[in-house]
Chains A and B, each alone.
Chain A
């Protein structure tokens, strides 16, 4: 396993043992294509060597763009996918190799909320039976007890318990996400993996749900892994944030440290691209517009995966895979960066010049100008 040394230093004290520990997690999917005829199987490297700890009671935000592997990683954590490589420890126990049957009792500990409030609820079943499904699967309680518990759950997430017999179609998008949350909470999990839970909702409804998730965390002592592409949401809800790019973690840091002194050029570009709802700030700030598109995860770039688009890439960036480690002395121990040339807070990325071979550059967007 590569790169396992760096993140381990943070968890040597027994009481601080993380709830979840990922080491060298990889998930590759076979590509179905004509490559099979040529006899060589190709793989999508969706998640390609992730080391992360999730601590008890915290919210870990997982951000990144489409195709960075954040949702695949979430499904690996919830054991909806088997790992290609690596280990996942829950409470110190390796769950990555458990069989379906062995996994079953542990499924109560980790539950998931999905993005699509329309696709994740069976339209032909009543809300009461959807939320009560986990009780049925795990054979808990009598019918009467279940109904009572389901109604308590509905109350907990702010739904009217009298709507027990309604169908999902009778609810709005925000209410459906509440149904999803109630179902996830039914078995009193320790951890909730939320995959873009508020992305499909309008802002006023989104705010209601974010408050609900924060309240539930306080009340029930939940640990969240919160996946989103919306940086302002993740800033609001997280304790720590991990930034992913092409299947790897580029930077992980406490929220404010990430927003104020991000070290990785990709983090910097990502944060600068976020539109701010404040005209003066929008006019003042420096925006870094990345060149080209994300490379395919079937043939990820060598070395640092971001080097083909990085404004300050150097020749060795194409060769050396940078380890995820503490980048500068004044970073906190929680702040890890995978970059050979980490940035200083006052460094201007727009002035940087990459010195990578021309063949490496993905696109010539000179028409765009790098910066606005």
Chain B
């Protein structure tokens, strides 16, 4: 049994403009010590889906099941959830300044975290543990700095404090929601290295939510690509980058400016993401998809196994045969090229 098993998760919100269907049918398994990345653009539902797991999405209507070590998180009562949230499922968010309390010393906040989950730990032991954790995440002179306030740390250090705090109770699962988005690349490299190191030492499973495909390529074992609240594709790290099936994944990768230098043109996905309010019953990507055909406009595809590989799923009506799919892509690239040539 996997540590976390999510089945058909649906999250919706009632708003004055209509029902926002933020997540539509998310399923995945996550084992201990593994990292699952959820990728998607703004509004794709990647953050909401994990917030609903820990009961943080207030006012949401959540259905489906999310079994964490035998307990269904969606039906657990507040008392049960309190024992899990923080203690067994740690969370870190994009903005470390608003997640740390500005009035309290950093060391006190970590001590509080440790003692909130285990009153038997003495204050002194918790304090020592806090200093030890801060030095583990690479805060220099950790012993002297546990008396400092959050504003006395730089952005990267604050994020490391958040990681130290989340890891202080050795959770089984860490949900990291855009943990390095606000950081510079060299600091990002430091923070990601800390996360990897702690994962190795403690066997923590990580759900990494990000829009940065570079971070995904470095950190993840498995990847879920979301669009308009739906899973477009789910694959192992190498398959997603080198053998992707879904046109949206293809479009995302083609939008990246990494491949060519000046003078080469990027191939952005045309148009803009759809609204999640009362979505029509068809493939949400159809209006922006260069491959879309009549079926895509009639029926919303469910994720299905592609390329004969059980770990690889794609929600797309295109052929699931690898050779055929590759031919389709080659034809598309050729027609794009000829369209750009002046006639």
A367 touches B257 (CB 8 A): no
The residues of B that contact A214 with a CB separation of less than 8 Å are 262, 265
The residues of B that contact A211 with a CB separation of less than 8 Å are 265-266, 268
Q: How far is the CB of B171 from chain A (nearest CB, A)?
A: 20
The residues of B that contact A269 with a CB separation of less than 8 Å are 186
The residues of A that contact B266 with a CB separation of less than 8 Å are 207, 210-211, 236
A65 touches B238 (CB 8 A): no
Alpha-carbon separation in the docked complex, A335 to B41 (Å): 37
Residue of A nearest to B269 (CB): A204
- Identify which of A48-56, A113-121, A274-282, A336-344 touches chain B: A274-282
Q: How far is the CB of A271 from chain B (nearest CB, A)?
A: 9
Tell me, yes or no, whether B251 is within 8 Å of chain A by CB: yes
- Identify which of B208-216, B291-299, B313-321, B331-339 touches chain A: B208-216
B186 touches A232 (CB 8 A): no
The residues of A that contact B138 with a CB separation of less than 8 Å are 363, 365, 367-368
Residue of A nearest to B183 (CB): A66
CB within 8 Å for A372 and B196 given contacts A59-B262, A270-B186, A273-B186: yes
Tell me, yes or no, whether B56 is within 8 Å of chain A by CB: no
CB within 8 Å for A207 and B268 given contacts A66-B155, A202-B42, A277-B258: yes
B258 touches A289 (CB 8 A): no
Most buried by B among A204, A205, A278, A367: A204
**Chain B residues numbered 203-241 whose CB sits less than 8 Å from any CB in chain A:** 211-218, 237-238, 241
Alpha-carbon separation in the docked complex, A6 to B325 (Å): 55
B253 touches A65 (CB 8 A): no
B140 touches A275 (CB 8 A): no
Tell me, yes or no, whether A172 is within 8 Å of chain B by CB: yes
- How many chain-B residues does the 8 Å CB contact rule pick out? 54
B189 touches A207 (CB 8 A): no
Alpha-carbon separation in the docked complex, A202 to B40 (Å): 9
Residue of A nearest to B219 (CB): A275
**A-B interface contact total, Cβ < 8 Å:** 149
Alpha-carbon separation in the docked complex, A273 to B180 (Å): 12
The residues of A that contact B188 with a CB separation of less than 8 Å are 273, 275
Alpha-carbon separation in the docked complex, A292 to B145 (Å): 14
The residues of A that contact B141 with a CB separation of less than 8 Å are 363-364
Alpha-carbon separation in the docked complex, A270 to B187 (Å): 10
Tell me, yes or no, whether A36 is within 8 Å of chain B by CB: no
B272 touches A172 (CB 8 A): yes
CB within 8 Å for A275 and B262 given contacts A208-B268, A368-B194: no
Contact with B along A255-297 (1 / 0, CB 8 A): 1100000000000011011111111101000010110111000
A232 touches B190 (CB 8 A): no
B262 touches A290 (CB 8 A): no
Tell me, yes or no, whether B16 is within 8 Å of chain A by CB: no
Tell me, yes or no, whether B184 is within 8 Å of chain A by CB: yes
Q: How far is the CB of A80 from chain B (nearest CB, A)?
A: 24
Alpha-carbon separation in the docked complex, A294 to B266 (Å): 34
The residues of A that contact B269 with a CB separation of less than 8 Å are 204, 207
The residues of B that contact A294 with a CB separation of less than 8 Å are 154
The residues of A that contact B202 with a CB separation of less than 8 Å are none
Q: How far is the CB of B332 from chain A (nearest CB, A)?
A: 17
A236 touches B213 (CB 8 A): no
B185 touches A274 (CB 8 A): yes
Alpha-carbon separation in the docked complex, A280 to B188 (Å): 20
Alpha-carbon separation in the docked complex, A59 to B189 (Å): 28
Tell me, yes or no, whether B90 is within 8 Å of chain A by CB: no
B214 touches A277 (CB 8 A): yes
Tell me, yes or no, whether B75 is within 8 Å of chain A by CB: no
Most buried by B among A238, A277, A290, A292: A277
Contact with A along B260-286 (1 / 0, CB 8 A): 111011111100110000000000000
Tell me, yes or no, whether A206 is within 8 Å of chain B by CB: yes
A362 touches B261 (CB 8 A): no
Contact with B along A336-360 (1 / 0, CB 8 A): 0000000000000000000000000
A278 touches B257 (CB 8 A): no
CB within 8 Å for A279 and B237 given contacts A65-B185, A236-B260, A372-B196: yes
Residue of B nearest to A283 (CB): B218
CB within 8 Å for A210 and B257 given contacts A277-B241, A292-B140: yes
B255 touches A275 (CB 8 A): no
Residue of B nearest to A58 (CB): B262
Alpha-carbon separation in the docked complex, A369 to B197 (Å): 10
A236 touches B261 (CB 8 A): yes
Contact with B along A213-243 (1 / 0, CB 8 A): 0100000000000000101110111110000
**Chain A residues numbered 278-334 whose CB sits less than 8 Å from any CB in chain B:** 278-280, 282, 287, 289-290, 292-294
Tell me, yes or no, whether B252 is within 8 Å of chain A by CB: yes
Most buried by A among B185, B192, B215, B252: B185
A203 touches B215 (CB 8 A): no
CB within 8 Å for A367 and B136 given contacts A273-B189, A277-B216, A289-B193: yes
Nearest 5 interchain pairs by C-beta: A275-B214, A207-B268, A363-B140, A236-B257, A65-B184
Chain A to chain B contacts (Cβ below 8 Å), 17 pairs: A65-B185, A202-B211, A229-B184, A231-B185, A235-B258, A239-B262, A275-B188, A276-B214, A277-B253, A278-B258, A289-B186, A289-B189, A290-B186, A293-B154, A363-B140, A372-B193, A372-B196
